[in-house]
Each structure stands twice: as structure tokens, then as C-alpha cells.
Amino acid sequence: DYEVDPINAKDMIAKEFATHVPKMIEDLFRKHMHNITLNLYLITSSSTARKSFANLQQQLYLTMKSKLQDQAADPEI
């Protein structure tokens, strides 16, 4: 049987909280942003240069629509 001093328990909990929670929050935020952010990359090639803005917009729309999480928020073009 161990006796735990209530003051030491509070200090231990506070220390564990300070040590681990910021990393947990950062990981949760990173996962959240990964799930809601589109990663767009500039592609400079002759085939892309010939596409109109409307074509690129349509392509982006179809890509977004194919994702389950984006189907509920179906944006208008």
C-alpha cells in the first residue's frame, strides 16, 4: 500500500499535463488541418498552361466533390 500526498499528486499531474498535452494538441490540430485543407501545387507545364481558368476550376470542383468530407459542403462554381 502506497500513501500519496495530495499535494504531490497534484504536482505530478500538473507536470504530466505540461509535458504531454501541448504535443497532443499540436497533433490534433495537424490532423484537423490535414483533413480540411486542400493541398494545391503549382504545375507549370505546357498541358496546364493551355487549360483555361474555368477548366481548372471544374477540375478542382470534381476533385473536391469526390472526397466524402466535401460532398456535404458542395460549393457552387
Cell (9 digits) for 49: 498552361
- Indicate whether 8 and 20 sit together in one domain: yes
Q: Provide the residue range defining the domain that includes 64.
A: 40-77
pTM for the full predicted model: 0.36
By 3-state DSSP, what share of the chain in percent is helix, strand and coil, each rounded to 5?
A: 70, 0, 30
- Indicate whether 45 and 75 sit together in one domain: yes
Q: CA-CA distance, 40 to 17, in Å (whole number)?
A: 36
- Indicate whether 31 and 1 sit together in one domain: yes
pLDDT, residue 47, reads 55
Question: Pseudo-torsion of CA 8, 14, 16, 19, nearest 10°?
Answer: -140
Q: How many domains does the chain have?
A: 2
Mean pLDDT, range 39-61, rounded to an integer: 69
How far does the chain reach from its first CA to its final CA, in angstroms?
A: 68
1-22 tens-digit pLDDT: 567 676 788 888 889 889 999 9
Cell (9 digits) for 58: 471544374
Neighbouring residues of 1: CB distance < 8 A, sequence distance ≥ 6 = none
pLDDT, residue 26, reads 92
- Indicate whether 47 and 64 sit together in one domain: yes
